[in-house]
Amino acid sequence: MTYRSVFRPGLFEGQTIIVTGGGSGIGRCTAHELASLGATVVLVGRKREKLEAVAAEIAEDGGKADLEPLDIRDEERVKSVVKALLERHAAIDGLVNNAGGQYPAPLAAINQKGFETVVRTNLVGGFLVAREVFMQCMNRRGGSVVNIVADMWNGMPGMGHSGAARAGMVNLTKTAAVEWAAAGVRVNAVAPGWVASSGMDTYDGAVKAMIPKLKEAVPLKRLSTEAEISSGICFLLSEGAAFMTGTTLAIDGGAPLFSSVWPTPGHNESKAYNGFHRAVTPKVLEEGE
């Protein structure tokens, strides 16, 4: 089996695209779709073994993948990794700034170190990678950057540190879109809602118990697949989005619109798209059925 993308074959042929956080979840899925469309995908993440596993999957499927372990919060390491990648590849045509992480906690229980760690991961790290890709390559030949944020439009209770960082990335996306436009660089963002991804299995306790119930607060009454997020990312990277920059594309099933005043009745009318042939349902959703 191969990835069943909605996009034309060879869409990214000859392009090199970095995917941070490419060892799991949305990053893994996006890397597979990009590779299936002809791109040479560079997988970036902290754990080499996860990157190697995804690279092996892509190779088995007939795609091309490179990898580079990296903690995106380390400025000097980010600089050296981008330099090394440009020595191995002719250019960097696209960047998917997907790496991130957070933990559930109310604001009153988050100390300074915890808050700063999440902000460094979800905002500062993404800025460092984008800046270096721009300064070392895209400022001379153009390109496309897609930053992954989150559904935090109504605040992010229980994850205020992540919500603050993601809101900052939305604003950074707009600023970069203006500052880098003259170099032919487009900068957009994708804001996923609740996604049936492997990351859901990292939570326990009250959060784990809540996950199977999340769909009830979504007008489409289901969670997103990883492939539905990847489709949005691939579109923004593609020539079809050539007149889009500074935009945040929400892929959330209408969750921010949910209202107890006008509750959506239960239904099964929204049919999921899942082109990812290697997708696995999170255990927490299987247990919640």
At 15-53, the pLDDT tens digits run 999 999 999 999 999 999 999 999 999 999 999 999 999
* 77 to 16, 73, 125, 129, 184: CA distances (angstroms): 20, 9, 11, 10, 26
- Of 205, 208, 189, nearest to 252 (Cα)? 189
- Of 109, 122, 118, nearest to 158 (Cα)? 109
- Say if residue 289's pLDDT is above 60: no
Residue 3 belongs to a domain:
no
- Say if residue 101's pLDDT is above 60: yes
Whole-prediction pTM: 0.96
- Of 188, 135, 144, nearest to 17 (Cα)? 144
pLDDT tier, 206 (very low <50, low <70, confident <90, very high otherwise):
confident
Helix (H) or strand (E) holding 166: helix 160-179
- Say if residue 65's pLDDT is above 80: yes
Which has the minimum average pLDDT: 104-108, 132-136, 224-228, 281-285?
A: 281-285
In terms of DSSP H, where are the helices of 42-159?
Answer: 48-60, 75-88, 112-119, 125-133, 139-141
Return the pLDDT at 204: 83
Q: Report the CATH number that the domain containing residue 80 is assigned in CATH.
A: 3.40.50.720
Return the pLDDT at 63: 98
Return the pLDDT at 288: 52
As a whole number, the mean pLDDT across the chain is 95
Residue 6 belongs to a domain:
no
Q: With contact defined as beta carbons under 8 Å apart, do 149 and 169 qualify?
A: yes
pLDDT tier, 274 (very low <50, low <70, confident <90, very high otherwise):
very high
Domain count, the chain: 1
Return the pLDDT at 199: 82
Return the pLDDT at 59: 98
Q: With contact defined as beta carbons under 8 Å apart, do 188 and 246 qualify?
A: yes
Residue 8 belongs to a domain:
no
Q: What domain range includes position 32?
A: 16-288
Instruction: Identify the residue whose tokens are 């754990």.
Output: 47
Residue 166 belongs to a domain:
yes
Return the pLDDT at 263: 85
* Mean pLDDT confidence for 122-142: 98
Return the pLDDT at 260: 85
Residue 144 belongs to a domain:
yes
Residue 74 belongs to a domain:
yes
Return the pLDDT at 286: 83
Return the pLDDT at 186: 98
Residue 26 belongs to a domain:
yes
pLDDT tier, 229 (very low <50, low <70, confident <90, very high otherwise):
very high
Rounded-to-integer distance, Cα 51 and Cα 24, Å: 8
- Of 9, 14, 28, 13, nearest to 233 (Cα)? 28
Residue 148 belongs to a domain:
yes
At 169-193, the pLDDT tens digits run 999 999 999 999 999 999 999 999 9
- Say if residue 198's pLDDT is above 90: no
- Position 130: which residue type? A
* Mean pLDDT confidence for 69-80: 97
Taken in order 13, 235, 279, 19, the sign of the CA dihedral is positive
Partners of 188 in the β-ladder: 146
